[in-house]
Amino acid sequence: METETTRIEAFSDGMFAIAITLLILEVKVPAAEQGHLAGALLRQWPSYLAFCLSFFYIGIMWMNHHRMFTHIRRSNDTLLVLNLLLLLGVTAVPFPTAVLAAHLGTPEQRTAALLYNGVFVVIAIFFNVLWRYAVSHHLLDKSLTASAAMISRQYAFGPIIYLICFVLAWVDVRISLALNVALAIYFALPPSMMRRESSP
């Protein structure tokens, strides 16, 4: 059954698809003058790592966006603007990914990691603002109250933990990225699984 949010979801899906596809464009084919192909390919490990991280981050963001709009049944102008702000963050991901790939393993990797984490802090804030607005303005499907409450709890600490990842980049880039991966896995968990785990 179509809802008021059908076009929002369709447009958003297209933007997520473009952003996730653009990531691979930063993984370059080694030039002949770089020496043996096998060695040149191995030296590009930062590009592979950055691509894989961002691919899964965007994929998990898309999953969460889908879950949100399974619950959101009505829209208004403010919701449209908030969704556009979220998509602004998502479409920006290929840039910090390219910066991280270019500088990981170099003296500038801290700055690259700060930029990378900073973008995800902003995206986490946009996710929360969009969801909290939909909840507070009663735009949700009333029959899904229980799972909506679980999503609210799951999102509550997202910006804070992403901010911790940002701060950790000053201390150790590897730890910062590892915590990012753990956080992405956490947000990939479906609310139904989290309800089962919290049950006595």
Packed helices 45-71 and 109-136: angle between N→C axes, nearest 10 degrees: 10
Residue pLDDT, tens place only, 43-84: 889 999 999 999 999 999 999 999 999 999 899 999 999 999
Neighbours of 64 (CB within 10 A): 18
- The residue type at 129: V
Q: What are the residue ranges of helices labelled H in the chain?
A: 6-22, 37-43, 45-71, 77-92, 94-103, 109-136, 145-156, 158-171, 173-188, 191-198
Residue pLDDT, tens place only, 92-151: 999 999 999 999 989 999 999 999 999 999 999 999 999 999 999 999 988 888 888 888
What global pTM score does this model have? 0.87
Write down the residue that tokens 């270019």 correspond to: 102
Domain boundaries, the chain: 6-198
